[in-house]
C-alpha cells in the first residue's frame, strides 16, 4: 500500500482546518445588562453569519461560557452588581478561560479607563455607538487569529494530533458526557513495536516518518468524532465516544492490519528502500463510576498485555 497520495489529502485537510475558512460560524457571547444594546450588537453580528447568545446577568458568565462555548466575548463595562473589567480579571486568572478573547464595547470615553480594561485582559476596546462594519471586522479578526493560534497550541507539531494535555482534557469531557448521556466510551492506547530499533537502524528522521504515517492513517480511518492524540514519544491514544470496546476492537484491528501493509521509506548507504512496522494496542471501555484516570490505567494495562503476548495485536 502506498499511502503517500491519500496522506497528502489528509495533510491538505489539516492545513485547511488550521487556516479556518468559515468565519461565519464564530460564536459570540454578548454580555450586556441593557437588552436593547445587546440585541443591537447581536443582530449586527448575526447579519455577518455569526452565532450569538445574549447574557444579561454578568454573574452567570462562567457557566454561560461552559455551556455555550463561545469563540469570543463581547462585553459591556458597566453593569449592575458586576463590572466587566472585574469579570475579565477573574477570567484571566483561570487557565480554562484565559485564552478566550474579550472585546469591550462601552460608552466609556475616558482613555485611562479604556486602558485599564485592556490591562486587565481585554483584547480590544470599542466605544458605543460603534459602526456595524467595525464591530463585525473586529470580532471576526480576533476569532480568526485566536482559532489559528489555539489550533497549534493544542497539537503536537510533528503529527498534527492533539497533544497529551489536550487529550486528557478531552478525555475528562467525553467521560462526563458519556456518564451523563449513558452512552459507551472506549479508550485505546497504541504503542509502536520495537521502535527503538527503527531509530537505531534507520535514523531518527525515518522514525519520525513512521510516526507521521501512523498518525495520518489514524486520521484517515477513524471517525470525525474520535479524538486522536499523541500520548507520548511513540505512543498514541484514541478516545472513541459512543463506541463499545468490542466495536472499537474491530475498527482498530482493521487499522492494525492496514498499518502493517504500509511501506515506510527509509534509506541507507545502499539506497532507498521500504520497511514495515507494527504497533500494539490496549483498549478499555468506561465503567460506571470509573474516573478517566482509572480508564487510562486499564487501557495501559491492556497494552502491556498485548506487548507481553507478542506485540502487533490488541488486548481489551
Binding string to Mg ion for residues 260 to 289, with x set by CB under 5 A, is what? ------------------------------
Residue nearer to ligand GH3 on the CB measure, 101 or 207: 207
For the chain, list the strands marked E by DSSP.
27-31, 51-55, 72-75, 78-79, 82-83, 102-106, 124-127, 185-192, 227-230, 235-241, 264-268, 271-275, 279-285, 314-315
Residue nearer to Mg ion on the CB measure, 56 or 62: 56
- Span of 9-17, 135-143, 199-207, 284-292 interacting with ligand GH3 by CB under 6 A: 199-207
Q: How far is the CB of 307 from ligand GH3 (least distance, A)?
A: 5
Longest distance between any two alpha carbons in the chain, whole Å: 76
> Which residues are identified as catalytic?
234
Question: Please, which of residues 195-254 interact with Mg ion by CB under 5 A?
Answer: 195, 234-235
Helix, strand, coil percent content, the chain, rounded in steps of 5? 50, 20, 25
Q: Is 229 in the site for ligand GH3 (CB under 6 A)?
A: no
Q: Is 295 in the site for ligand GH3 (CB under 6 A)?
A: no
Residue nearer to Mg ion on the CB measure, 85 or 175: 85
Phi, psi dihedral angles at 184 (to 5 degrees): -70, 155
Name the 3-class secondary structure at 149: helix
For residues 305, 308, 311, 316, the Cα torsion angle rounded to the nearest 10 degrees is: -10
Burial 44-68, CB ≥16 within 10 A → b, else e: bbeebebbbbbbeebeebeebbeee
Residue nearer to Mg ion on the CB measure, 79 or 315: 79
Residue 76 binds which entry of ligand GH3, Mg ion, none, CB below 5-8 Å type-dependent: Mg ion
Question: Please, which of residues 17-36 interact with Mg ion by CB under 5 A?
Answer: 33
Binding string to ligand GH3 for residues 42 to 81, with x set by CB under 6 A, is what? ----------------------------------------
Candidates 192, 266, 286, 306; binder of ligand GH3 (CB under 6 A) is 192
Burial tier of 314 (Cβ tally within 10 Å: 0-12, 13-18, 19+): buried
Q: Is 207 in the site for ligand GH3 (CB under 6 A)?
A: yes
Candidates 76, 108, 191, 300; binder of ligand GH3 (CB under 6 A) is 191
Q: Is 78 in the site for Mg ion (CB under 5 A)?
A: yes
Closest by Cα among 152, 135, 138 to 99: 152
Phi, psi dihedral angles at 159 (to 5 degrees): -105, -15
Q: How far is the CB of 257 from ligand GH3 (least distance, A)?
A: 18
- Span of 4-12, 44-52, 77-85, 167-175 interacting with Mg ion by CB under 5 A: 77-85
Q: Which residue has the cell 492490519?
A: 257
Cβ(103)–Cβ(134) below 8 Å: no
Using CB under 5 A, list all residues that contact Mg ion: 33, 76, 78-79, 191-192, 195, 234-235
Amino acid at each position: 500500500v502506498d499511502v503517500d497520495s491519500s496522506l497528502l489529502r489528509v495533510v491538505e485537510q489539516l492545513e485547511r482546518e488550521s487556516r479556518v475558512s468559515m468565519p461565519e460560524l464564530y460564536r459570540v457571547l454578548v454580555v450586556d445588562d441593557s437588552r436593547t444594546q445587546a440585541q443591537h450588537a447581536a443582530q449586527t453580528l448575526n447579519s455577518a453569519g455569526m452565532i450569538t447568545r445574549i447574557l444579561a446577568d454578568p454573574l452567570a458568565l462562567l457557566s454561560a461560557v461552559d455551556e455555550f462555548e463561545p469563540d469570543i466575548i463581547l462585553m459591556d463595562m458597566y453593569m449592575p452588581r458586576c463590572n466587566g473589567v472585574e469579570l475579565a480579571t477573574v477570567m484571566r486568572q483561570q487557565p480554562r478561560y484565559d485564552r478566550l478573547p474579550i472585546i469591550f464595547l462601552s460608552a466609556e470615553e475616558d482613555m485611562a479607563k479604556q486602558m485599564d480594561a485592556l490591562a486587565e485582559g481585554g483584547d480590544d476596546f470599542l466605544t458605543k455607538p460603534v459602526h456595524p462594519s467595525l464591530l463585525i471586522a473586529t470580532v471576526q479578526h480576533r476569532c480568526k487569529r485566536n482559532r489559528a493560534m489555539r489550533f497549534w497550541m493544542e497539537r503536537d507539531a510533528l503529527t498534527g494530533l492533539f497533544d497529551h494535555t489536550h487529550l486528557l482534557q478531552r478525555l475528562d469531557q467525553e467521560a462526563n458526557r458519556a456518564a451523563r448521556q449513558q452512552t459507551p466510551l472506549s479508550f485505546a492506547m497504541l504503542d509502536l513495536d520495537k521502535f527503538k530499533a527503527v531509530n537505531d537502524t534507520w535514523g531518527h528522521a525515518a522514525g519520525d516518518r513512521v510516526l507521521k504515517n501512523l498518525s495520518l492513517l489514524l486520521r484517515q480511518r477513524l471517525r470525525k468524532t474520535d479524538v486522536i492524540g499523541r500520548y507520548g514519544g511513540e505512543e498514541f491514544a484514541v478516545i472513541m465516544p459512543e463506541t463499545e470496546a468490542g466495536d472499537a476492537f474491530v475498527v482498530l484491528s482493521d487499522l492494525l492490519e492496514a498499518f502493517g501493509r504500509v511501506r515506510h521509506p527509509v534509506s541507507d548507504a545502499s539506497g532507498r528502500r521500504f520497511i514495515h512496522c507494527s504497533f500494539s494496542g490496549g483498549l478499555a471501555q468506561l465503567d460506571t463510576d470509573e474516573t478517566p484516570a482509572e480508564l487510562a490505567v486499564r487501557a495501559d494495562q491492556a497494552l502491556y498485555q498485548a506487548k507481553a503476548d507478542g506485540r502487533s495485536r490488541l488486548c481489551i
